[in-house]
Amino acid sequence: MNNLLTIPPLSLYIHYPWCLKKCPYCDFNSHEGEVKTGYINALIEDLEGDLKYVQNRAIESIFIGGGTPSLMSTEDANDLIDGLKERLTFSDNVEITMEANPGTFEVEKFAEFRNIGINRLSIGVQSFEDRQLKFLGRVHSSNEAINAITEAQRVGFKNLNIDLMYGLNGQSIDMCIEDLNKAIELNPSHISFYQLTLEPNTLFSKFPPRLPSEEVIWEMGEKGANLLNKKGFRQYEVSAYSTTPSIHNLNYWTFGDYIGIGAGAHGKITDMNTHQIFRTLKLKSPNEYLLSFKKNKKTSRKKMVDSLSFEFMLNGLRLIDGFDSGLYESRTGLSIESVRSQIIKAEKLNLLDTRDNWIKPTKSGYSFLNELQEIFL
C-alpha cells in the first residue's frame, strides 16, 4: 500500500577505492596502487547524474569510505567538498565522515581535513597489539594508532570512531579486553567493535588462520559489550557503541535513502513520483569507472527492491532499541499487517518483543539475529 510511503532522510556515500596495501581479510572494492588522476572530477560528474534523486532534500550525512580515503591529497579533498557544496544543500548538523588509516602520512593531513569541513573521522585501528596488526596485514603500529587518535582529537575532531576487531589469531579473552580498554582510554565518541570474519575471495579465505573457538569468540563479544556499556559507550547497533551515535549509520539501519557515488558504490532511493524504491550500483572497476566518464557512458545500474519487508527488517532489526511500526510503514509503503504473521512467529520463538506498536529484538533475538531476519525472507 504505497499511499503509506513518505520520503525519508537523505545521505551520501562516496567510495574512494585505493589503499596502500590490500588487507588479507578485506572483501571491499579496494585496490593497491597509485590514485588515478581525474577521480575527483569523475565523482562530481557521477553526482550530477544522480541529482534527480535528491528531491528537494538536504543531505544529513556524508561518508567517504574505501579503500583509504585519507590517502587523498588535501587539494583533492577540498575540491571534493567544494563540489558537493555547490550542488547539494547540507543540513545544519551535517555529519561528514572520512575513513582514515593511522599512518604518519595521513595524520599530517588531519588538521587540513578538519578545516575543509570533514567533522568526523573513522580510524581503522583494528588492534593495539603489534603482532596482531602484522597478522592483519596493517601498515601501522600500535604507537602510530595511539598517536593518530590523539592528534585527531588535538586538531578538533570531537566526533571520532575507532574500528576494533576481536576473534583474532591466537587471541585470548584477556587480550581482547586489554585491546578494548586501550581504545576506551583514548576517549573516542564511537567504537565499532566487531568480529573478524573470513569472507569469500580474500586471502584469509584461501589460507584460513587459526582463530579462537566459537565459544571463546562469543564470550569476547559478550564481555566486550558489557565493558563498553559499563564505560558509557551505549550499544545502538550490532557492532556500534557510542556516546554520539553516527547519523550516517542510523540512516542505513532505519532504511533511509542514500546516493552512492564512486567505483562500485551502492545507493538506495525512494522515488515519490512513482512511489517506488530502488537501488543503484556504479561500475566496480576504478579503471572502467573513470573510462566511462571519458567516453560519456552510463556508470549506473538501477534495480527495484524486490522484497521491501525483508530489506527493511535486514536493517531495522540490527537496532538495539528496535523501531516503531509506523517507521516500517512510512519507509516501505506497506502496512505492518503485511508482516504480522512473521512477527507473531518471531514472538513465539522469543526472538522479538512487540509493545505499543514498538518492535524490538529480544536478547535472544539479538544473539540469533540471522535466524530472526530470515523469518521475514
Q: Name the one residue in this structure whose C-alpha cell is 567517504.
A: 64
pTM of the model: 0.95
pLDDT band at 233 (very low <50, low <70, confident <90, very high): very high
Average pLDDT over residues 192-197: 94
Percent of the chain with pLDDT over 90: 81
Fold of the 308-374 domain: Arc Repressor Mutant, subunit A (1.10.10)
pLDDT band at 1 (very low <50, low <70, confident <90, very high): very low
Question: Is 142:153 a contact under the CB 8 Å cutoff?
Answer: no
Average pLDDT over residues 39-54: 96
The pLDDT tens digits of the residues spanning 95-104 come to 999 999 998 6
What DSSP line would sit under 200-228, residue for residue? TTSHHHHS---PPPHHHHHHHHHHHHHHH
pLDDT of 119 strictly over 60:
yes
54-68, 106-120, 121-135, 291-305: which has the minimum mean pLDDT? Answer: 291-305
Question: Is 317:238 a contact under the CB 8 Å cutoff?
Answer: no
Specify the pLDDT at position 265: 96
CA distances to 126, 167, 168 from 131, in Å: 12, 14, 11
- 49-53: long-range pairs with CB below 8 Å, 24+: 49/299, 49/300, 50/259, 50/261, 50/267, 50/280, 50/300, 51/87, 53/257, 53/259, 53/267, 53/269, 53/271
Domain ranges in the chain are 2-252, 308-374
| DSSP E strand stretches across the chain | 10-16, 18-19, 31-32, 59-66, 90-100, 120-126, 159-166, 190-195, 234-237, 240-242, 257-261, 266-271, 276-282, 300-304, 323-324, 352-355, 358-361
- In terms of pLDDT, which residue wins out, 204 or 325? 325
pLDDT band at 135 (very low <50, low <70, confident <90, very high): very high
CATH class of 2-252: alpha beta
- The sign one gets for the Cα dihedral 134, 137, 139, 140 is negative
pLDDT of 316 strictly over 80:
yes
Percent of the chain with pLDDT over 70: 99
The pLDDT tens digits of the residues spanning 328-356 come to 999 999 999 999 999 999 999 999 999 88
Of the candidates 97, 107, 242, the one whose C-alpha atom is nearest the C-alpha of residue 183 is 242
pLDDT of 361 strictly over 90:
yes
- In terms of pLDDT, which residue wins out, 155 or 106? 155
Mean of the per-residue pLDDT values for the chain?
A: 93
pLDDT of 242 strictly over 90:
yes
Specify the pLDDT at position 2: 55
